[in-house]
Amino acid sequence: MIGLLGLNHKTAPIKVREKFVFCEEDVKRFVPQLIDAGINGAIVVSTCNRTEIYFDYPEKDIFDCTSTLAKMLFDWRKADKSVGAHFYHKFQDEASQHLFRVASGLDSMALGEYQIVGQLKDAFAIADKYELHTPTLIRLFNKAFEAGKKVRTETALSKGAVSISYAAVELANKKLHNLSSHPTLLLGAGQTGELTLQNLLKKGCNQFTIINRTAAKAQELAKRYKGVAREFSELQNELVHNDIVVTSTASKKPLITKEMVELVMIERQHKPMFFVDLSVPHNVAPNVAEIENVFVNDIDDLNAVVDKTFDIRKGEIEKAEAIIAEFVTDFSDWQHTRNLTTTFQSISDNFKKINEAELEGFIKRQSKDNTDEASMYADHITNKFIRLMIKNVKSITDNGRKKEYIELVNDLFKLAP
C-alpha cells in the first residue's frame, strides 16, 4: 500500500516549506527511522516548492503509519504540530495520481515545467543508493516517469512553459528594464543557476560573475558561458560590484545577511540592488529587504510572472489528466494483482500435487513406452487448468480488489486432496 505526506507551494508559504527541506544526508538518516517504526520504505522528494514523502506501508497499519510518520517528521524538524495544517495526506490511487501529476508538470508553480523530472529522478536515485525503497515504490516512480513522458509527448502542455529561472529573469528585467547595463552575480552553480544564466543571456546580460562553494563548478560554468568565476570568500566584495544577485544554493542558512548588505550599500553609495532568491531555505535573509534601495524577491513572488503563461496551455490540462488516469488505473491493477500472488501459487501447487499423485498411479499401470508421453500430457493439462483458474480468479476478484473473494479462494485451495 502506498501513502503520501507532503506540503507544497500551494499549501505552505516559504517560511514553512524551508523547515522541511531534505538533503541527501537527511534522507539517509531519517528514512531508516521510519522503517524501524514499521513503514516498509520511503522516497523523499524535496525541492524549492515541495517536500513529499512517498511511503509503502502495511495495509493493516495505515492509521498508525501516517500518524507515526507525521509525528516523527515534526519532531525531526523540531516543528510545532500546528504546521500539520499545511500538510496533505493521500493514499493509494490518490497518492499515485498526485505523483503522476507532479511528474507531468501539472502540479508545478510553472505549469508544464520539466525541471521537476530531474528532481524526481534524484530523489529516486538517493532511495536506491541507500536501499530505502520497495518494489511497490520502484514501480510507482517508474510509472510516474512514463506518465510524465507521455504527457509531454502527446500534449502541448510544455509548449511555451516557463521555468522558475525564466520567471526570475523576467522579474528582474521588468524591474530594471535593460539587463545588459546591469552586472549580475549568480550565487550557486547547480542546475537552477545554469538555467538562470541561460535566460539572462537571452535577455542581453553580458556582465556576469559566478560564485559557488565548490570553486571548480563555478569555474567550469563560467568558462562554458564566457563569464567570470570568483571564490566564495569574495562574496561580499562581489556584492559591491553587481546590481542583480540571483541565489540558488542548498545552504540551510542565509549566506547574505542584513549586516553584510548594509556595509555593501555604503560602498555602493546606496545605488539600488535587486535580489532574486530562488533557494529554499532562503539564501538572502528576509530582513535584507528592510534596507533602503534594496529589493528582495523570493520564489513565492514569481507567481505573477508564471501565471501570465498559464492561459496558453490550460486547454491541454484535460488531455494530460486523461493520460494520467490511465496510468493510475494501470498501477492500481498491478498493485491489486500482487494480492493474488499467494493465491496463484496455492492453485499451482495444488494442481501439481494432484497431477503428480495421479500420474504416479497411472504410470504404474502403463508400459515404459507410454510413460514419457503420459508425463508430457499430464504437465500440459495441469498448466492449462492453472492458467484457466488464474484467469477466472482475476475476474472474480476484480484483479485482487475484492479481498473477501481472495480469502475464499485461498481457503478453497488451502489443502491438496
pLDDT digits (tens, 9 = 90+) for 357-405: 666 666 666 555 566 665 666 666 666 666 766 676 676 666 666 666 6
What is the spatial distance between Cα 342 and Cα 76, in angstroms, rounded to a whole number? 38
* Structure confidence by residue, pLDDT tens digits, 193-216: 999 999 999 999 989 999 999 999
* pLDDT tens digits along 302-331: 877 776 666 667 778 999 999 999 999 999
pLDDT at 22: 96
| 79-85: long-range contacts, CB 8 A cutoff, minimum separation 24 | 79/19, 79/20, 83/12, 83/16, 83/19
Is 406's pLDDT higher than 90? no
Q: How distant is the alpha carbon of residue 381 from its chain centre?
A: 48
Average pLDDT (155-174) is 83
Cβ atoms of 272 and 183 closer than 8 Å: no
pLDDT of residue 17: 96
Query: Mean pLDDT, to the nearest integer, of 146-160?
Result: 89
Parallel/antiparallel/unpaired status of strands 273-277 and 184-187: unpaired
Q: Classify 284 as helix, strand or coil.
A: strand
pLDDT confidence of residue 33: 95
How much is the pLDDT for 283? 96
Tens digit of each residue's pLDDT (9 = 90 or more) over 33-82: 999 998 999 999 999 999 999 999 987 666 677 888 999 999 999 999 89
Handedness of CA 264, 269, 270, 276 (dihedral sign): negative
pLDDT tens profile 240-264: 999 999 999 999 999 999 999 999 9
- What CA–CA distance (Å, rounded) separates 40 from 136? 10
Q: In this predicted structure, what is the pLDDT of residue 392?
A: 66
Is there a cis peptide before residue 286, judged by omega within 30 degrees of 0? Answer: no
135-159 CB burial, b ≥16 within 10 A, e <16: ebbbbbbebbeebbebbbeebebbe
For 20-123, strand residue ranges (E) read 41-46, 50-56, 88-91
Question: 416 falls in which pLDDT band (50, 70, 90)?
Answer: very low
Q: Are 347 and 389 in contact (CB under 8 A)?
A: yes
DSSP annotation of 156 reads S
158: confidence class by pLDDT, cuts 50, 70, 90: confident
pLDDT tens digits for range 69-90? 999 999 999 999 899 999 999 9
Name the grid cell of 219.
Answer: 569555474
Q: What is the pLDDT of residues 264-284, one digit of tens each?
A: 999 999 999 999 999 999 999
Sequence-separated (6 or more) residues with CB below 8 Å from residue 218: 189, 210, 211, 212, 229, 230
Sign for the CA dihedral angle at 330, 336, 341, 346 comes to negative
User: According to the model, what pLDDT value does residue 341 have?
Assistant: 64
How many H helices and E strands in the chain? 17, 10
Per-residue pLDDT at 378:
62
Contacts made by residues 297-304, CB under 8 angstroms, sequence distance 24+? 297/168, 297/171, 298/14, 299/9, 299/14, 299/48, 299/49, 299/109, 299/164, 300/9, 300/13, 300/14, 301/171, 302/109, 302/164, 302/167, 302/168, 302/171, 303/109
Q: What is the pLDDT of residue 83?
A: 94
Model confidence pLDDT, tens digit, residues 287-307: 999 999 999 999 998 877 776
The answer to whether the beta carbons of residues 100 and 328 sit under 8 Å apart is yes
Does residue 205 have an active-site annotation?
Answer: no
Q: Which of 23, 48, 65, 205 is catalytic?
A: 48
**What local confidence, expressed as pLDDT, does residue 358 receive?**
63
The whole-number pLDDT of residue 59 equals 72
Cα 52 to the center of its chain, rounded Å: 7
> What was the pLDDT predicted at 415?
41
Higher pLDDT, 56 or 175: 56
Name the CA radius of gyration of the chain, rounded: 29
DSSP string of 101-136, one letter each residue: HHHHTTTSSSTT-SHHHHHHHHHHHHHHHTT---HH
> Quick check: helix, strand or coil at residue 264?
helix
Q: What was the pLDDT predicted at 417?
A: 41
pLDDT at 63: 63
Give the cell for residue 172: 528582474
Q: Band of the pLDDT at 109, cuts 50, 70, 90?
A: confident
Instruction: Report the C-alpha gap between 104 and 121 in whole angstroms.
Output: 13
What pLDDT does residue 391 have? 72
- Which of 9-13, 114-118, 226-230, 333-337 has the least mean pLDDT? 333-337
